[in-house]
Structure 1
Amino acid sequence: MTREILAEASVWVTRLHSHSRSRAMERECLAWQAQSAAHRLAFERCTDTWQEVGGLTRAQIQAAVSDPPHRAGSWGSRAGHAALALTTLCLAVVFAVILWPGDTYSTGVGEQRVIVLADGSRMTLNTSTETRVRLTDSQRSVTVKHGEALFEVAKDAGRPFVVSVTDSEVVATGTAFLVRSTPPGESAGEAFNVTLIEGQVIVKRAGGAMQSATDAPVVMAPGERLRVGHSAGTLRQGAEQARVDRPQLDRLLAWQRGFAILDDTPLPDAIADMNRYSKVQIALADSTALRSLRISGSYRTGDNEGFAHAVARLHGLVVTPREGGLELSASPADAASIRN
């Protein structure tokens, strides 16, 4: 993105906020933005800056309107002077995007958040999620540090959309997919999974390096989920390291409606999933005795007390309040019958 493009963008912003705004001017501005992704990004950044600083003075606006945008590249013109303050701010914003590590977006326990990125892509964060976003002229990059996020990517063939998770990258140009990064020990050693909802994505080792034939990129089809284990901390296509299945998408996306849908899920995994959404944590008094129990049904996320009592009624367990949450346990007789 050049200074000339930023200067032109700043003039368009000032003209559109003046009394002389017209439909013809709007069409001309859209045509100018259509010239390249750099033009669109410059206009978006200058618009954001305008809103943050509350606009320029009337004199600056009138000076900007007096000259056409193509002259703004010359700092001696009236439009150049009029847009100088705004362009300086735009330069600071844009270069911060290019040089700074990126914007961080996160959610707390039980919180969800929708972020519309500057390129038009949507990023929906589930509970306890942290991401870092960095947009440049050549690439759109997001790092999922932990948690779960749904990406609805705006089409831009010239700028791939790359999501980094653990040691791997999910590469797309215009599609929708779900990424979940799982802490060690939370779910049977699974490091992360990627579910493709529509379009196509390629999952590969970060940086494109291949250390063996099993490190080859995975090209996913809609409806598929790639599940990668923690072992060795790498993406591999071996049966024990990574596997592809076809889950029920409605179940995976139920958190957007405030529900967790469980389907014959082992009780420890069901509890781990529900604990993601609530500060009232559920623990098993005897995980060895209860791990064989299975849970199915639709449960409201964040209502761990209701979930614990529902499970207790289903399997004849006991719910006991404890510091920081609840404990599920079985009587000695029930524990013995479960083991047998």
Structure 2
Amino acid sequence: MTDRTIAQSPNSDLDAEALEWFARYSDAPDAAYSDAAFRNWLAGHPDHETAFSRWQADWRQLDALPQSGVERLRLQLKKDQADSAKTSRASERKSSRWSALIPQAALSAVVMALVIGSGYMAWDHWQQQPLFAHIYQTERGQQLSVQLPDGSRLRLDTATRVEVSLYRQRREVKLPQGQAVFEVQKDAARPFDVVAGNIKVTVVGTRFSVRNTAGNPVQVAVEEGKVRVSPCGSAPESAAVLLTAGQQVIAGADGHAGPVGAIATAGIAPWRDGRITLENVPLSEALAEFERYAPTHMVVRDTTVGALRLSGTFDPQKLAHFRYALPKVLPVRLKVNGDLTEIVARH
């Protein structure tokens, strides 16, 4: 800011007087010169115009703020001055000695600190506002492709919700449920974070998938480029895991990643091609995966049957193929009861 040496001189009250005039005409400082009282004040001392000009120069340095921030500061300055005047009158009625304990130089310094501090807070608030914010969501059985303003592309699977926020210095997507493929536009100045469960995936430019479905750990798989997987919060650097193309990891409930493994032969997201790939998963989990796409009207009540392991690739929209294959690959049979089919052990 500008030099405030006047506030330390014997005429430091001139600075406070100049501030009062500036606050009165902060919307249009040049208009003050048409006020006869203001011109008389200027003529009363050679330092008056210098003090007033100094306040104008201080204010111009806040012009980098958005217009809304500047207007808020102007209004706040006027309010502070009005509140200060009321407080001063009340203090004078209580005890005149307080006016001797608060020199005008200190008052000027305090008000200026408020203006500068308010300017910083307004600037910081402005910086924290997203340039773009939107929520994308798919229903059961629906998929959605989205292109973001920064050029990144998202592919949402069924029953998925993402919350996108693009800021001036960073990009963030929250994935509270479902799974999605991210094709991130490279921008070294603005990292791209995906937050799912208790993990954060940070990239600059790459293509990867994140899965965060109820009852299952978060899974991250990389098709192209590199991603950094770390627990949310203030975890040590050693807790982060770097994944490259062809690798995947599953994170625990605490956000810490397990061992790095190779992605399945079906790729990071076979659902993009309308397929469900099951690799040695319990039958109960296989049914839950089908249920994400459409009602199956199938249940398994026997925990032993539900624990049977199943592998294969299926079309979730063609449940009849799954029903046909199930008794052929597992020791089970289908017990039909009206609209509901129970999967039971074959004896």
Q: Above 0.5 in TM-score? A: yes
User: Aligned residue for 1:134?
Assistant: 165
Aligned residues between the structures: 221
Q: Deviations over 1:268-297 (max 9, x none)?
A: 2322222221122432131224523x3233
AA partner of residue 222 (structure 1): A
> Counterpart of 1:219?
242
Look up the match of 2:68: none
Given candidates 324, 337, 343, the residue that maps to 1:309 is: 324
- How far the C-alpha of 1:249 sits from its partner, in A, is 4.9
In the other structure, the counterpart of 1:88 is none
Q: Which amino acid is 1:273 matched to?
A: E
Instruction: Give 2:67's aligned residue.
Output: none
Q: Which runs of at least 4 in structure 1 moved beyond 6 Å after TM superposition?
A: none
Hey, what does 2:139 align to over in structure 1?
108
Matched, 1:270 2:286: yes
- Percent identity of paired positions between Structure 1 and Structure 2: 29
Deviation digits for residues 67-116 of structure 1 (CA, Å, limit 9, x no counterpart): xxxxxxxxxxxxxxxxxxxxxxxxxxxx9x93599311011111111000
Structure 2: distance between partners of 1:160 and 1:287: 45
Separation of aligned partners in 2, 1:136 and 1:325: 49
Q: Which moved more, 1:257-266 or 1:175-184?
A: 257-266
Superimposed CA distance per residue, residues 169-216 of structure 1 (whole angstroms, 9 cap, x where no aligned partner): 1000100110000212xxxxx420111111111112224x02x68x62
The match for 2:52 is none
Provide structure 1 residue ranges, at least 5 long, that are not aligned to the other structure. 1-94, 185-189, 335-340
Does structure 1 residue 156 correspond to structure 2 residue 187? yes
1:109–1:279 Cα contact (<8 Å) kept: no
Query: Which of 274, 279, 302 is 1:286 aligned to?
Result: 302
Task: Say whether the 8 Å CA contact 1:98–1:134 is kept in structure 2.
Answer: no
Partner of 2:313: 298
Q: Provide closer, same or farther for how the CA distance between residues 251 and 275 of structure 1 changes in structure 2, counting only shifts above 3 A.
A: farther
1:122 aligns with 2:145: no
TM-score (normalizing by structure 1): 0.59
The residue aligned with 1:228 is 251
Q: TM-score, normalised by structure 2?
A: 0.58
The question of 1:201 aligning with 2:189 is answered no
Q: How far, CA to CA, are the matches of 2:191 and 2:174 in structure 1?
A: 14
Say which SS state the counterpart of residue 102 (structure 1) adopts.
strand
The match for 1:243 is: 259
Give 2:217's match in structure 1, choosing from 175, 178, 191: 191
> What is the one-letter code of the residue matched to 1:296?
S
